[in-house]
Amino acid sequence: MKNLKQKYALSDEGARSMIIASVANVFYNLVLFSPVVLLYFLIKDILGNGLDGRTTFYVTGICIWLLLLTVTAVIQYNTCFFSTYKESGVRRVTLAEKLRKLPLSFFAKKDSADLTSALMDDAAQIEQASSHFIPQLIGSIISTCILAACLFFINWKMALAAVWVLPVSLLIVALSQKVQYRLGKKKSFAAVEMTEQIQECLETVRDLRQNNAQESYFQKVKAKIHEMERRMLWNELGTGLFVTNAELLLKFGIATTALVGAMLLKSGEIDVLMFFLFLIIVSRLYDPLLTSLEHFAAIIGLDVNCERLNEILQHKELEGGEELKVSGGDIEFQDVKFSYQDGKQILDGVSFVAKQGEVTALIGPSGSGKTTVSRLAARFWDIDSGKITVGGQDISKIDPETLMSLYSIVFQDVMLFNNTIMENIRIGNKNATDDEVKAAAALANCTEFIENLPDKWQTVIGENGKKLSGGERQRISIARAFLKNAPIILLDEASASLDVENETLIQQSISKLIKGKTVLVIAHRLRTIAGANKIVTIKDGKAEVNA
């Protein structure tokens, strides 16, 4: 169970289902093979004293076999396919839940194309293998071993001539593991790069046309597509070389069985009936494995897919189990040190207090760590050392989702969803009524432009709100913050890049939003600094406080 879970990124139920499906395939293969026994006795009777009233026995045997075949086929289908599709849903939900709890440091080294490929392509590959390949391969190997063991009780020489090709064929395919892993790694990398290039092309097509750069850029897209095609061909070739040789070797087992059987028949060690029995057996013995050898190669190739999913599933989460026991809304940084994954020190002993009811402005040169400070306050990352408290409670001890109930965040980069305006604002409080959403929108000066839209509050605004202007998108973001009504506001001066009209409206909205709350603002303009109660200058990883 543990090995299956680790190997194929399965849940407990998924691992159990895979074991059951493998067992079902064993019985299914044995039932498929069982007519050989019935045929042996039929030929024996025909060569002996004739059927002699045994017709009923054979008709009954055929009926029982058909019944067993139907039952085992239904069980095999249900356990292999229905259980796998259920597990596939569980896997994707588990991945989504895991991503929800991972620190942003994980996403800093992963782009959206890579994660999309893992969630969709890698999960789909494992789904196909779990339903079509893995149980069938395990069932084929076990059922073939059972049949091979039975052959040795009949005649060990003939059995040896028939089964020696089985372990050798499996070994040939197994030896391809390193080759397939390297080829699969390169193919996966090429797929991610191709997806990235296509995605970037679609997102920037307007800018490419404006600058007459579409032709040169499309050449890059074509190059990535051709590289993906080349990697897929190499992957198929690397697999085919091993699988084809293994399949040829399996067929060679029929020849060795016939040759050894003829020698034993000539020497009188076996009779014609025994020779005929083994020829019938070997004609069926290799069938399950012939198909499964291709599956075996595909399963070996899953290592790359499973590795990518396990990288997500096994990544350390942001944890915290304490309930909120905050006293007030002060945010305090105590000798905080922080560095990103590359080891570059961003903050080196930062200390200050952002008091409730005051505006604390963060200033400093570009790249000094202002944005990092604001995100650490909301525990987007965990710090290296020191302590950050909210209302006197250490935020590293609080569950990140519980902690976020204290914060409303308004940044310059607004993320909107391809949904209605009503639902985009309601993200601030999923239980809010329509009237509460409209009241929050009014406070953010959104009502006028919303009422002028074709479908008003039910207008679908497109991917990331592309149907709205920059100022309208910012006001939607502020409306969310009003609706959430959290005691702490993290603000990246949202009006810094807007025109005068929108800037005025947004400044009016923000002035109403921050009343009586703890406000931590990344300042870009002198007006913001002048209106702040406290100024914290971030430079060279240090903080200088000016009241």
On the question of pLDDT at 160 being above 70, the answer is yes
The CATH number given to whatever domain includes residue 386 is 3.40.50.300
The CATH number given to whatever domain includes residue 174 is 1.20.1560.10
Residues 269 and 401 in one domain: no
Query: How would you classify the pairing of strands 407-410 and 488-492?
Result: parallel
Residue 200 domain-assigned (yes or no): yes
On the question of pLDDT at 286 being above 60, the answer is yes
Residue 181 domain-assigned (yes or no): yes
Residues 269 and 341 in one domain: no
Higher pLDDT, 176 or 531: 176
Q: 541: Cβ–Cβ under 8 A, 6 or more apart, which residues?
A: 345, 346, 347, 348, 349, 350, 369
Residues 358 and 301 in one domain: no
Q: What domain count does the chain have?
A: 2
Residue 321 domain-assigned (yes or no): no
Residue 319 domain-assigned (yes or no): no
Please report the pLDDT score of residue 344 as a whole number.
74
Residues 306 and 343 in one domain: no
Please report the pLDDT score of residue 184 as a whole number.
77
Average pLDDT, rounded, for the chain? 79
Fill in the amino acid letter for 294.
Answer: E
Residue 320 domain-assigned (yes or no): no
On the question of pLDDT at 319 being above 80, the answer is no
Residues 351 and 292 in one domain: no
On the question of pLDDT at 513 being above 70, the answer is no
Q: Cβ distance 451 to 422 under 8 Å?
A: no
Residues 337 and 365 in one domain: yes
Q: 477: Cβ–Cβ under 8 A, 6 or more apart, which residues?
A: 410, 411, 414, 416, 494
Cα gap 521→530, rounded to integer Å: 12
On the question of pLDDT at 500 being above 60, the answer is no
Residues 65 and 117 in one domain: yes
Query: What percentage of the chain has pLDDT greater than the value 90?
Result: 1
Neighbours of 130 (CB within 10 A): 28
**Could you say which of 279, 313, 347 is where a domain stops?**
313
**Could you say which of 280, 313, 346 is where a domain stops?**
313
The encoded tokens of residue 70 equal 């139907």
On the question of pLDDT at 222 being above 60, the answer is yes
Residues 450 and 424 in one domain: yes
Residues 9 and 68 in one domain: yes
Residue 164 domain-assigned (yes or no): yes
Residues 348 and 224 in one domain: no
Element (H, E) at 430: none
E runs forming strands in 475-527: 488-492, 518-522
Domain coverage including residue 405: 331-546
Q: 269: Cβ–Cβ under 8 A, 6 or more apart, which residues?
A: 157
Mean pLDDT, residues 76-89: 82
pLDDT in tens, 396-435: 888 887 888 888 887 777 778 888 888 888 888 888 888 8
The encoded tokens of residue 247 equal 């399949």
Is 385 strand, coil or helix?
A: strand
Cα gap 534→490, rounded to integer Å: 15
The encoded tokens of residue 543 equal 């903080």
Residue 253 domain-assigned (yes or no): yes
Most confident of 18-32, 277-291, 479-493: 18-32
Residues 337 and 289 in one domain: no
Cα gap 265→463, rounded to integer Å: 77
Alpha-helical runs (H) found in 269-322: 272-285, 287-300, 302-313
Residues 299 and 340 in one domain: no
**Could you say which of 313, 342, 361 is where a domain stops?**
313
Neighbours of 127 (CB within 10 A): 17
Residue 278 domain-assigned (yes or no): yes
